[in-house]
A and B are shown apart, each in its own frame.
Chain A
Amino acid sequence: MTIEAPQSSRFIDDFKAELKPRLREFRNSLGLIRENWTAMMGIVMVLFIVLMALFAPFLAPPQTAGDPMQIPADLSLPKPPFQEGLPLLGTGGNGIDIYYGVVWGARTTVVTSLYVVLTAALIGLVLGGLAGFYGGKIDEIIMRFTDIFLSMPALILAMAIASILTKNLENMMFALIIVWWPSYARLIRGQVLSVRENTYVEASRAIGCKRNRILFKHIIPNSISPLIVSITLDLGAVALVSASLSYIGFGVGPGYAEWGRMISDGQRWFLSTITYNGVSYTPWWALVFPGLALLIFTMGCSLIGDGLRDILDPRSRRG
C-alpha cells in the first residue's frame, strides 16, 4: 500500500514542475536581451541604482549613531558641489549632505518599489486568478471592485487613502499597494480567461483533472510572462508616484533620505543666490541630483520593460 502525498503539496510540486521549462525559456529570453541594446542600457541603469542601494553603508558611511536614513546636516546655508573639503555633491537646505541623501535615497526607492509592486502583484495574482478561473459571482464582485479603484487616477487615489493615515513611509506603501493591485487582478484575469480556452486545458479537463490542478499546472504558469513585463514597468511607475507623494508632503518627514522629499526640501533654495568663497551660485544641485537619480531608475525600468515585452512575446520574436 502506498501513502499518497497530501493534495496541497502535490499541487505545489506540479506547479514547480511546470514552472521549470518556463524559467528555462525565460533564461533563454534573457540571453536574447543581450542583443537588445536599449534593454541592456536599462539594465545598467537599474543595476547602478540597486548597487548604490546595496552598498550605501560603504559608499556613504553614517557619521553618527542613530537612524542612517536621516541625512547628516550642518544647519548652514547650501554649499556648491565638487569643492575641496566639502561633501561631493554639495549641501542643500539646512546643510544636508546631498551625496549622502542620493546614495541612501536609492535604498528607500528600491525597497519601496519592490515591496509595493510585489505585494500588489501577489494580491492581483490570487484575486485575478480566482475571478478568471471560477467566474460567476466571485468574478463579478472582484471585477466591480477593480472598476472602482481604476476609476481614479493613481496619484489621486493614493492621496485619498494616505490622507486618512498618519504620514509615514509604511502608510504610503500601504496606500500604493491598494492603488496597484487592481491592474494586476485585471491582467491575470484576462490572461486566465484566454489560457482557459486552449485545447490543452480542455484536454486535461476531459481526462478528469481537478480544477486546482488545472489552475496550478496550466493556467498560472502560462500567465507568468505578461506579469513579469508588467512588474518591471510598474517598478518605475511606483517609484515615480511614491516620490510625487513624498514631494507633496505624504510619506517621510524633512531630512529623510528620499529623493522626492529631497527635491521638495531643495526647492526652497533653487530660486535664490548664495555666495561661497566669493563666487555666486544658484543652488541647483539640491534638486538636480536627486531628480537625476530618480530619472535613471524610472528610465531604466521602462527600457527593460519594453525590451522584455518584445522578447517574451514569442510571436514578435519569431515572426
Chain B
Amino acid sequence: MRLSRYIIRRLLLVIPVLLGVSIFIFTLTRLTGDPVAAYVNEKMTFAQIEQVREQYHLNDPLPQQYLYWLQGIIQGDWGWSKTAAMPVLDAIQYYFPATFELAVISILIAVIVGIALGTRSAIHKNKPFDHATRVVSLIGVSIPVFWLGLLLLQFFYFELNLFPVKGRVSDSFIIARTLPAGPTGFYTIDSLLAGNFALFGDVLWHLALPAITLSFGSIAVILRMQRNSMLEVLSLDYIKTARAKGLDESTVINKHARRNALIPTTTVVGLSFGALLGGAVLTESIFSWPGLGRWSAASITRMDSASILGFCLIVAFIYVMVNLIVDILYAYLDPRVRLG
C-alpha cells in the first residue's frame, strides 16, 4: 500500500472514534441534570422556561438532541464556563497556549533525555550506568507527579530560592506590559521573535520546574522502550556485519543501530503525550501555571461540569490527533507497517 493511501485509511478510522467520544461526552452532559438549567435564572416563569426548552430543542428525542448538540460543538457553542466566566471554547482558546508550550517543552525534554539514556544503557547493558538508569525509570513510573512537583518546589523555591514559585513570567514583565502579543502564544518563541532576551530568559526560568516535573514520567517510559529496542537491534546480523567490516563503534551505534532502534520508540512518544496531558492537570495546579489543566482542576471544586467536559473533549481530540500523526510517522519510517 502506498503511504498516501495508508494516511487516508487512518484518517477515515479516526472519524468513528471521535464520534464515539462525542456521544460519550454528550451522554455525560445529559446525566448531570436538566440541561435547561444552563440557560435559565430564578426570575423566569415556567412558560418562559418552557420556551427556552423549545428554543434549544430540549424536548426532542435524545438522538436528535445529540445532533443539535454536535452541531453546536462544531459551530463553537461549547456551553458556559462558570470558572473562567466566559464561554467554554473561549476559555480553551485562552488557556491553550500555556498548556501546549509546557507540554511541547516537556515532551522535548523527555524525548532527548529518554533516548540518550536508553541508548547508552543498552550499550552498557548490566553495567553500573544501566543499573542507575533502571532506578531512574523505576522511580519515574512510580512517583506521584504532584508529590514530585511539591518536593521540587519546596527544595528549589523555598530552601534554595533558585526557581520561581508560580506562573509563566515574573510579575515585573506583566506590570511593564512587555509581554509578547506574538503570533504563536508560546512565550519562548514570541519573546525571541520580539528580540527580548531578558524576557526569554525569564520564561525559561519559569518553565524549568514544571517542565521537569511533567517530563519525568515520560522520560521513564521512553527510556525503557529505547533501551529494549536498541538491545534488539544490536543483536541483529547487519550490526555484526558492520562491525566485521571494521567500522568503528561510534559509527555502528549512531549510524546503524540507533536510527532503527528509534522506530518503535516513536509509538510510545505518542502514548506518553496522553499521560502528559493528564499530568498537566496536576503540574499546572501546583505551579499556578495559567493553562487548561489548572482551569479544569479549578472547575472541579466549583462543580463546573461544562468546563470539565469541554476540557475532556479537547484533550481527547488532541490525543487522537497526536497518535494519528505518530502512526503516520511510524508508517513513513518503517515501510513494513503499510503492508499490514
Chain A interface residues toward B at CB < 8 A: 144-145, 147-149, 151-157, 159-161, 163-164, 236, 240, 243-244, 247-250, 260, 263-264, 267, 270-271, 282, 284, 287-288, 291, 294-295, 298-299, 301-303
Query: Could you give 27 example pairs across A and B, Cβ below 8 Å?
Result: A148-B17, A151-B320, A152-B312, A152-B315, A152-B316, A153-B277, A156-B278, A156-B312, A159-B300, A161-B28, A163-B28, A163-B303, A164-B28, A164-B32, A243-B144, A248-B297, A249-B297, A263-B144, A270-B158, A271-B153, A294-B147, A298-B141, A298-B142, A298-B143, A298-B144, A299-B138, A302-B138
Q: Are A148 and B21 in contact (CB under 8 A)?
A: yes
Bound CA span A107–B164, Å: 37
- At the interface, yes or no: B40 with Cβ under 8 Å from chain A? no
Closest to A237 in B: B141
- Pair B305/A156 contact, Cβ less than 8 Å: no
In this assembly, does B251 line the interface, its C-beta being within 8 Å of a C-beta of chain A?
A: no
Q: With A and B bound together, what is the CA distance between A247 and B25 in angstroms?
A: 24
Q: Which residues of B contact A164 (CB under 8 A)?
A: 28, 31-32, 305
Contact of A295 among B24, B147, B158 (CB under 8 A): B147
A148 engages B146 (CB within 8 Å): no
B117-148 interface with A by 8 A CB criterion: 138-139, 141-147
User: Is the C-beta of B150 less than 8 angstroms from some C-beta in chain A?
Assistant: yes
Interchain residue pairs A-B with the least CB separation, the first 9? A155-B278, A148-B20, A291-B147, A298-B142, A153-B274, A153-B278, A299-B142, A160-B312, A163-B308
Asked if B154 lies at the interface with its beta carbon under 8 angstroms from chain A, I say yes
Q: Whole-angstrom distance between the alpha carbons of A156 and B311 in the complex?
A: 9
CB closest residue in chain B, given A267 = B150
- Residues in A with CB closer than 8 Å to B150 are 263, 267, 270, 287, 291
**B contact face: mostly helix, strand, loop, or mixed:** helix
B157 at the interface (CB under 8 A from A): yes
User: B296 contacts which chain A residues (CB < 8 A)?
Assistant: 159
Q: Is the CB of B309 within 8 A of A163?
A: yes
Inter-chain pairs besides A156-B311, A271-B158, 11 sampled, C-beta below 8 Å: A147-B20, A148-B17, A148-B21, A148-B23, A153-B275, A153-B278, A160-B309, A240-B142, A260-B144, A284-B154, A302-B138
Q: On chain B, which size bracket covers the interface?
A: 35 or more
**Considering the chains assembled together, what is the distance between the CA atoms of A157 and B20 in angstroms?**
14
A-contact 0/1 string along B63-85, CB 8 Å cutoff? 00000000000000000000000
- Proximity string of chain B (291-304) to chain A, C-beta cutoff 8 Å, 1 when within and 0 when not: 00000110111010
User: Whose C-beta in chain A lies nearest to the C-beta of B277?
Assistant: A153
Shortest Cβ distance from A154 into B: residue:
B278
Decide if A249 touches B301 in the complex (CB within 8 Å): yes
Contact of A240 among B17, B144, B303, B308 (CB under 8 A): B144
Q: How far is the CA of A153 from the CA of B308 in the complex (A)?
A: 14
Q: Is B163 an interface residue (CB 8 A)?
A: no
* B residues less than 8 Å from A144 (CB atoms): 16, 20
Quick check: B158 and A282 within 8 Å, CB to CB?
yes
Q: List CB contacts (< 8 Å) of B44-102 with chain A.
A: none
Interface of chain A: mostly helix, strand, loop or mixed? helix
Instruction: Write out the residue numbers on chain B whose beta carbons fall within 8 Å of the beta carbon of A295.
Output: 139, 142-144, 147
Given A147-B20, A294-B147, A303-B138: A271 and B165 interface contact (C-beta under 8 Å): yes
B186 at the interface (CB under 8 A from A): no
Q: What is the chain B residue whose CB lies nearest that of A42? A: B138
Q: Is the CB of A156 within 8 A of B315?
A: yes
B151 to chain A, nearest CB (A): 7
By a CB distance below 8 angstroms, the chain A residues around B275 are: 153-154
A248 touching B281, Cβ below 8 Å: yes
Bound Cα distance A148, B277 (Å):
17
**CA separation between A260 and B147, bound complex, in Å?**
9
Let me know if A160 and B142 touch, CB within 8 A.
no
Cβ-defined contact, B17 with A271, below 8 A: no
Encode B199-220 as 1/0 by CB contact (under 8 A) with A: 0000000000000000000000
Cα-based distance from A244 to B154 in the complex (angstroms): 19
Judging by beta carbons under 8 Å apart, are A156 and B300 in contact? no
**Which among B24, B147, B165, B305 has the greatest number of chain A C-beta atoms within 10 A?**
B147
Residues in A whose Cβ lies below 8 Å from that of B303: 163
One digit per residue, 1 when the CB lies within 8 angstroms of any chain A CB and 0 when it does not, for chain B 306-329 equals 001101100110011000000000
Q: By the criterion CB–CB under 8 Å, are A302 and B141 in contact?
A: yes
Give CA–CA (A213, B25) in the complex, Å.
40
Q: Of all chain B residues, which has the CB nearest A240?
A: B144
Do the beta carbons of A160 and B144 come within 8 Å of each other?
Answer: no
**Beta-carbon contact of A247 and B278 below 8 Å:** no
Q: Provide the residues of chain A in CB contact with B145, threshold 8 Å.
A: 244
Q: Which residues of chain A have C-beta atoms less than 8 A from B312's C-beta?
A: 152, 156-157, 159-160
The reply on B265 being an interface residue by CB < 8 A is no
Which residues of B sit under 8 angstroms from A148, Cβ to Cβ? 17, 20-21, 23-24
Contacts of B281 in A (CB 8 A): 155-156, 159, 248
A243 and chain B: residue at smallest CB distance: B144
Once the chains bind, are B300 and A248 in contact (CB under 8 Å)?
yes
